[in-house]
Structure 1
Amino acid sequence: MPILESTYNPPFLFKNGHFSTIYNGLFRKIDDFEQKRERIELPDSDFLDLDWSYSNSKSDKVIILLHGLEGHGQRPYITGSAKAFNSVGYDACAVNFRGCSGETNRLFRAYHSGATEDLDAVVQHILINKSYSSICIKGVSLGGNMAMKYVGENRELPKEIKGVVGISVPCDLHNSSDQLLKLKNRAYAIRFKRHLTDKLVYKVARFPDDITNKDVRAIKTLKDFDDIYTSRAHNFKNALDYYDKSNCLQFLPNIKVPSLIINAKNDSFLGPSCYPYKEAKENPNLYLETPKYGGHVGFYGKNNITYTEKRAIKFLEKVV
């Protein structure tokens, strides 16, 4: 499939990748919006909290929304997307990954970029308990990697899954990890690490045989976190094994439902191999758009609707 030409051309300030990233992450607000929480039980005795919002009229379409690293269902990039999809006739199911809903999860494990078993649990819950004929998925950052991996893995997808959109997708997790270790991303990396290690306090108290305070003090970088906790909690050998097995890049050639990746060229979190030009050219189901601007999950738009929210709706309208 030919690479899509992007029309995104934001105001001057938002052409700066860092400004765009920080504005959308810290200053954007979504008002006049309500969600209803539902808890589902998982096969391994853990749980997920889902935040639902609804179209004004009865809908047979639902969009599953997946947040990024240390996000949750109330982040503006999730609620903004839910509100936009609600306005065009979709119900929206915002997934809070394990430990991200404001309550620590029950098990030693939590969530990670490749945990598609949890996404599948949400899909199966919707299929069994709801009455939607069309299910679409939109993932952001870590959630985008999970979404693309899910539809590219060796599984028979339900016929109800019509399309997928990934925004700011770290298609090569190792490559993205290397970028986050660089000085240009130091402020972001410190913020992520603080949130992640704060959560480990609960794990140390509940699972002292699996992780100790000494382990937590040894975490200096995000890669350390993946070496010491992510890999240990999710049965990987180390961080590199986790990145290797969980990155969606290797699964993109197998995608058989219409799928769109939008990765800005000035996204400081993404290295060269996070832009899957070759895979998009060779797979007629995979579309790739690489705007010059946008930062990481930035993409400012007028009327508090981001460019990627509009593009996701436009793309999925063609396939649903």
Structure 2
Amino acid sequence: MFRWRIQELPYCECSTVGGEVLADCLVRGVSPTDSHGFVCPGNLHPSSQLQEFVVSREILTLSDGGQICMDWMEPFENCPPDTPTIIILPGLTGASKADYVRGLVLAAKDEGLRTVVFNQRGIGGIKLKTPRTYCAANFDDLVEVIAYVRGCCPNAPVAATGISMGGLILGNYISTHEDAGKSLTAAMLISVPWNVFKGCASIERPVVNLLLNRHLASCLCNIIRGVREVVEPDIGASTIDSILKSRTIKEFDSLYTCKQFGYGSVEAYYSAATLHNKVHRMKVPTLCLNAADDPFQPYDGIPVEEVNKSQNVCVVITPRGGHIGFMEGIWPLISIGRRQYMFELFAQYFRSALSHSENFSAATKKVRATTP
């Protein structure tokens, strides 16, 4: 198995996300599993390798009458109110029980950090109360979640991480919402599909990518089946029947997401959701982790030049890792959990960022990638 090391790329510049923080968290290279990215999705992180833990579930009623659930994990008993807190936004159909989410929660716990998993409407075993669900371009619910968490922990530094589509929602929030820089101390985007158009084209290529695409489209259809009685009066039975025949994510978005959120076309929706052209507007210090072999985000879709010019964003690119995978070693399924690169980098970054939250405003960073 080859060893890989982190090297600075020639287009590095200065940023507030670096120096003290990155020197503290990028403490080792990565030894990625040498296999195609499709075999390294986050759902291969088997639950048998992750210890069980108990969370406190809270249902939050939103301003429009909808509801989401938040799963809180305290790092230890009698945790003080000012304990640094991380809001976690899972991926497309993910929730608290997803193994990659559990791995992040446990990694944060080991560092003494509180986590709050934000389960989207109709996800995580919570009943859908209104016809509206969620999409990558809309962060209204996240605004309410952040406000609620800050109200519960008024003296705690609050950060957030978004995985895959959760990263799109978080990225759109920190690049668009006027109060993002005041509400969040730091952010991390994991396996975010920066350029949604290129990501969509990539996962429609046969054979392996398309199979993964169809699997996720099936998962989306299953969600709609579970909430059909709530959304059908608003959409219509015949439309629901058409939606449930979707074979790809793009078909599902065209038939369902666009109509529900008022987009005239799937291209308009993807234009609103994409992040590759919004890096310069990101107001929160943000670390991003991507793999060059991610089927949801081709390497040429990662906005390296834009990140290079940013004062708030840093990206780490590994040669392998797939989508929410980042497994290491020859037999990655035998030894995973806290020591896997994604979990380790997540914990180290937020430990450093939140412990230096008062002075998290000046340092030097480098856009980094892993090279042989």
TM-score, normalising length: structure 2:
0.79
Distance, in Å, in 1 between the alignment partners of 2:269 and 2:157 is 32
Number of residue-to-residue matches in the alignment: 318
Aligned to 1:199: 223
Report how far residue 53 of structure 1 moved: 0.5
Paired residues for 1:126-275 under 5 Å: 126-157=149-180, 159-183=182-206, 184-206=208-230, 207-213=232-238, 214-275=241-302
Large movers: runs of 4+ above 6 Å:
3-6
Where does the alignment leave 5 or more consecutive residues of structure 2 unmatched? 1-10, 14-21, 329-334, 355-372
Aligned to 2:135: 112
Q: Secondary structure at the match of 1:106?
A: coil
Q: Secondary structure at the match of 1:79?
A: helix
1:141/1:217 Cα in 2 relative to 1: closer, same or farther (>3 Å)? closer
Structure 2 counterpart of 1:8, from 30, 40, 56 = 30
Structure 2 counterpart of 1:310, from 344, 350, 356 = 344
Question: Contact 2:337/2:343 (CA < 8 Å) preserved in 1?
Answer: no
Distance, in Å, in 2 between the alignment partners of 1:23 and 1:93 is 20
Question: Contact 2:276/2:302 (CA < 8 Å) preserved in 1?
Answer: no
Question: Contact 2:45/2:336 (CA < 8 Å) preserved in 1?
Answer: no
Question: Contact 1:261/1:289 (CA < 8 Å) preserved in 2?
Answer: yes
1:263/1:158 Cα in 2 relative to 1: closer, same or farther (>3 Å)? closer
What CA deviation, in whole Å up to 9, does each residue of 1:189-238 have, x standing for no partner?
A: 22211121122234543324513244235523221100110001111112
Q: Identity, % of aligned pairs?
A: 21
Q: Secondary structure at the match of 1:48?
A: strand
Aligned to 2:364: none
1:282 and 2:309 aligned: yes
1:88/1:27 Cα in 2 relative to 1: closer, same or farther (>3 Å)? closer
Which is further off, 249-258 or 41-50?
A: 249-258
Distance, in Å, in 1 between the alignment partners of 2:283 and 2:243 is 41
Rg comparison, structure with higher value: 2
Question: Contact 2:146/2:183 (CA < 8 Å) preserved in 1?
Answer: no
TM-score, normalising length: structure 1:
0.91
Distance, in Å, in 1 between the alignment partners of 2:48 and 2:279 is 32
Report how far residue 110 of structure 1 moved: 0.6
Aligned to 2:324: 297
**Paired letter, 1:227:** S
Report how far residue 177 of structure 1 moved: 1.4
**Paired letter, 2:221:** T
Distance, in Å, in 1 between the alignment partners of 2:157 and 2:42 is 34
Where does the alignment leave 5 or more consecutive residues of structure 1 unmatched? none
